[in-house]
Amino acid sequence: MLHIYGRANSINVRKVLWMCDEVGEPFTREDWGRGFRSTLEEPFRSVSRFGVVPVIDDAGFVLRESHTIVRYLATKHGRSDLYPVELKARALVEQWMDWAASDAYVGIRPVFLGLQVKMAPFKDAPEAIAAGIREWSGQMQRLDEHLAEKGPFVTGGAFTVGDIPVALIVNRWFTIPFEKPELPHVAAYYDRMTERPAFRAHGRNGTP
């Protein structure tokens, strides 16, 4: 059985938990990371020396990096509807996964660590938080415009693995309290994602 190393309140672990539910992959999980056992300790280091969650062990095959794990599980289960085989369709999916991990996350990090986690030095850096809000808001406005033009999902008419990291960012956006612009298409997307039981379990569950 698939074993997942990582705390269930981690946004990256939640991507994998969501994907497991989508494809019907049974799993066991143990808590590692912030607030639980340190990933610098054994036995985590014996599994991965990179010190980040999630990590999976699939019958001896060890894999880290949440987006890679999500794609691995989609391919393992033959879910080309979620992770297309055709080159251009797959590239569009991966483009959104990369956006969620890079451009979108630049602004999220100081806001989340400062307002939600209240981690030093972010909690005592209002200018950094304000800059993060501006950056994050700009990225979300781009997402809103994209969904208006090419939605209802990030790659068009169907749900794919590209929606998993994006929808978790959207959940974090609506869950952390700060002043936000009106984004009607993102709000509609959030409600659309909530129709999926796996997102209700691992996304819109009260955890940013």
Q: Which fold has domain 2-76?
A: Glutaredoxin (3.40.30)
Q: Provide the whole-model pTM.
A: 0.97
pLDDT at position 163 is 99
pLDDT band of 142, cuts 50, 70, 90: very high
Question: Domain extents for the chain?
Answer: 2-76, 87-199
pLDDT at position 162 is 98
For the segment(s) 87-199, the CATH number from 1.10.287.610, 1.10.287.110, 1.20.1050.10, 3.20.20.140 is 1.20.1050.10
How does pLDDT run across 68-105, given as a tens digit for each residue? 999 999 999 999 999 999 999 999 999 999 999 999 99
Angstrom distance (rounded) from CA 144 to CA 150? 10
pLDDT band of 48, cuts 50, 70, 90: very high
Question: Mean per-residue pLDDT for 158-168?
Answer: 98
pLDDT band of 30, cuts 50, 70, 90: very high
pLDDT at position 36 is 97
Nearest C-alpha neighbor of 12 from the set 175, 142, 203: 203
Nearest C-alpha neighbor of 79 from the set 151, 150, 24, 29: 24
Is there a cis peptide before residue 110, judged by omega within 30 degrees of 0?
no
Question: Mean per-residue pLDDT for 146-159?
Answer: 98
pLDDT at position 25 is 98
Angstrom distance (rounded) from CA 8 to CA 86? 33
pLDDT at position 111 is 98
Angstrom distance (rounded) from CA 58 to CA 44? 15
